[in-house]
Amino acid sequence: MNIGVVGLGLIGGSLCKAIKENTDHAVFGFDKDFSINSYAVMDGSIDAVLDDSNINECDYILLCIYPKATIEFLREKAPFINSKAVVIDCGGIKRAICDECFALSDEFNFNFIGGHPMAGLHHSGYKYSKATLYKDASMILTPKNTDDIVLLEKVTAFIKSIGFSSVTVTTPDKHDEIIAFTSQLAHVVSNAYVKSPQAKVHKGFSAGSYKDLTRVAKLNENMWAELFMENKDNLIFEIEHIINALSQYKEAMENEDTETLKALLKEGSDRKKAIDN
- Write out the chain's pLDDT in tens, 277 residues: 999 999 999 999 999 999 999 999 999 999 999 999 999 999 999 999 999 999 999 999 999 999 999 999 999 999 999 999 999 999 999 999 999 999 999 999 999 999 999 988 777 899 999 999 999 999 999 999 988 999 999 999 999 999 999 999 999 999 999 999 999 999 999 999 999 999 898 988 889 999 999 999 999 999 999 999 999 999 999 999 999 999 999 999 999 999 999 999 999 999 999 998 7
Strand partners, 114: 89, 142
* 238 Cβ contact list (under 8 Å, min separation 6): 180, 181, 184, 185
User: In the listed set 170, 186, 221, which residue is the last one of a domain according to the structure?
Assistant: 170
**CATH for 257:** 1.10.3660.10
The model's pTM? 0.92
The per-residue pLDDT for 247 is 98
The per-residue pLDDT for 36 is 96
The per-residue pLDDT for 137 is 95
The per-residue pLDDT for 234 is 98
Q: In which domain, by residue range, is 239 found?
A: 175-276
The per-residue pLDDT for 135 is 94
Same domain, 222 and 86: no
The per-residue pLDDT for 66 is 95
Distances in whole angstroms, Cα of residue 5 to Cα of each of 11, 48, 59, 79: 10, 11, 11, 17
Same domain, 105 and 38: yes
User: In the listed set 141, 170, 199, which residue is the last one of a domain according to the structure?
Assistant: 170
Same domain, 25 and 115: yes
- Residue 73 CB neighbours (<10 A): 21
Same domain, 55 and 20: yes
Q: How many domains does the chain have?
A: 2
The per-residue pLDDT for 206 is 87
The per-residue pLDDT for 131 is 95
Calpha distance 85→162 (Å, rounded): 18
Distances in whole angstroms, Cα of residue 243 to Cα of each of 20, 171, 183, 258: 45, 28, 17, 20
The per-residue pLDDT for 189 is 97
Same domain, 239 and 166: no
Same domain, 24 and 59: yes
User: In the listed set 170, 187, 219, which residue is the last one of a domain according to the structure?
Assistant: 170
**CATH for 56:** 3.40.50.720
The per-residue pLDDT for 53 is 94
Same domain, 165 and 81: yes
The per-residue pLDDT for 120 is 80
Same domain, 160 and 240: no
218-277 confidence digits (pLDDT tens): 999 999 999 999 999 999 999 999 999 999 999 999 999 999 999 999 999 999 999 987
Distances in whole angstroms, Cα of residue 184 to Cα of each of 18, 81, 92, 128, 239: 26, 32, 9, 22, 10
